[in-house]
């Protein structure tokens, strides 16, 4: 859930933090999850990338739809590919205390759509560009 969904009154949108905007309880996979399973997760749950974590929750990478599409076009069998082979290691991350203004700049500069949120290198949430837009609209509703 996103905290912004429960806002009852407006506030200055630029003061919103990542903690308020992000989705917690994120779907994730391990480095040994196969690509076909990842493809099913993405299409069923409707998101374009999936964080890859170790058993203790440490973030190790991210698999995007681009990575899957490339493997498909190359004619590889998705069942035989592991997340670790196609993921991008060391992805861009944000922390919960960053503000909307700070992360908006990051999204704009790097053309990112979804970014993992980490606390001590462990995954605690995911922030999508859509969450920024949603939080902004929600906060700005009664604020002027």
Residue with tokens 């196969």: 34
Residues 36 and 77: their CA atoms lie apart, in Å, by 8
Contact positions with other proteins (CB under 8 A) in 59-98: 65-66, 68-70, 72-73, 75, 77-79
Tell me if 136 contacts other proteins by CB under 8 A: yes
Asked if residue 49 lies in contact with residue 114, where contact means CB atoms within 8 angstroms, the answer is yes
**Which residues are registered as beta bridge partners of 108?**
none
Q: Closest separation between CB of residue 13 and other proteins, Å?
A: 8
CA 81 to chain CA mean position, Å: 22
Rounded least distance, CB 105 to other proteins, Å: 7
Q: How far is the CB of 10 from other proteins (least distance, A)?
A: 14
Asked if residue 32 binds other proteins (CB under 8 A), the reply is no
Nearest to 127 by CA among 94, 102, 99: 94
We find the least distance from the C-beta atom of residue 55 to other proteins, in angstroms, to be 27
Q: Which residues bind other proteins (CB under 8 A)?
A: 13, 36, 39-40, 42-43, 46, 48, 65-66, 68-70, 72-73, 75, 77-79, 101, 104-105, 107-108, 111, 113, 129-130, 132-134, 136-137
């Amino acid at each position: 859930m996103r905290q912004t969904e429960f806002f009852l009154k407006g506030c200055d949108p630029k003061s919103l933090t990542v903690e308020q905007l992000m989705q917690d309880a994120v779907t994730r996979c391990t480095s040994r999850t196969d690509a076909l399973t990842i493809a099913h997760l993405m299409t069923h749950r409707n998101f374009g990338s999936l964080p890859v974590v170790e058993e203790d929750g440490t973030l190790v990478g991210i698999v995007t739809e681009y990575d899957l599409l490339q493997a498909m076009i190359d004619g590889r069998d998705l069942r035989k590919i592991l997340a670790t082979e196609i993921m991008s290691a060391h992805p861009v991350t944000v922390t919960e205390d960053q503000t909307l203004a700070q992360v908006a700049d990051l999204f704009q500069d790097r053309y990112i759509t979804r970014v993992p949120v980490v606390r001590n290198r462990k995954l605690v949430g995911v922030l999508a560009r859509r969450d920024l837009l949603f939080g902004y609209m929600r906060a700005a509703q009664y604020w002027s």
